[in-house]
Amino acid sequence: MKQPKTRFWASVLLLMAICLPMCFFAGCDSGGDKVSEFYDTVVESQSHLDIIADRIYSYWYDAIYNDKYLGDINIAISSALSASSDNVDFVTSNEEKIQALYKEVRDSELKSEIKDVMSAYSDYYELVMNVSGSFNTYSANKETCKKALATALKNLSMEL
């Protein structure tokens, strides 16, 4: 008669030994969700930055080589930003979210990849949202920044 009770309690103990650690670790957040959110948010902003950057390039090119916008690059850049106002608004509002997420994930186990993404994103954001320099410098830097961000995001995605 004692044998069934012993089996019962042994089963209960075994079940607890298996389930309790699972319950405990299920509640723990390794930061992976935040890293994924950081990654997704930067990818979203990147696509909008690409649209803005390409439009600035196109308008600037037209001002120089096709004598549009009265040949004035300032008018061309302002017109490009105005034509991209929805994208500019999206990127600007996402900037705060990216900064906040970065602060949360910068010390995670993927800190090197995250730092590379943030550095490349910041360079690209600065180039697109605060246009300066010559057309040749802008066009060269635009491609360099696009590639750097794409590479950094690819490296991070491989670790997720």
pTM, two decimal places: 0.80
**pLDDT of the chain along its 160 residues, tens only?**
455 666 655 554 555 555 444 443 333 344 679 999 999 999 999 999 999 999 999 999 999 999 999 999 999 999 999 999 999 999 999 999 999 999 999 999 999 999 999 999 999 999 999 999 999 999 999 999 999 999 999 999 999 9
In a shared domain, residues 116 and 94: yes
- Dihedral over Cα of 66, 71, 77, 81: its sign: negative
User: What is the predicted pLDDT for the residue at 31?
Assistant: 60
List C-alpha distances in Å: 116 to 56, 111, 133.
Answer: 25, 8, 25
In a shared domain, residues 50 and 120: yes
In a shared domain, residues 70 and 112: yes
In a shared domain, residues 124 and 143: yes
In a shared domain, residues 133 and 61: yes
Q: What is the DSSP letter of 28?
A: -
In a shared domain, residues 96 and 74: yes
In this structure, are residues 111 and 120 in contact, taking their beta carbons and an 8 Å threshold?
Answer: no
Q: What is the number of domains present in the chain? A: 2
In a shared domain, residues 88 and 134: yes
List Cβ neighbours of 133 (8 Å cut-off, separation of 6 or more): 141
In a shared domain, residues 23 and 56: no
User: What is the predicted pLDDT for the residue at 32?
Assistant: 79
User: What is the predicted pLDDT for the residue at 21?
Assistant: 46
* Domain of residue 64, residue span: 31-159
Q: What's the CA gap between 85 and 51, in Å, rounded?
A: 11
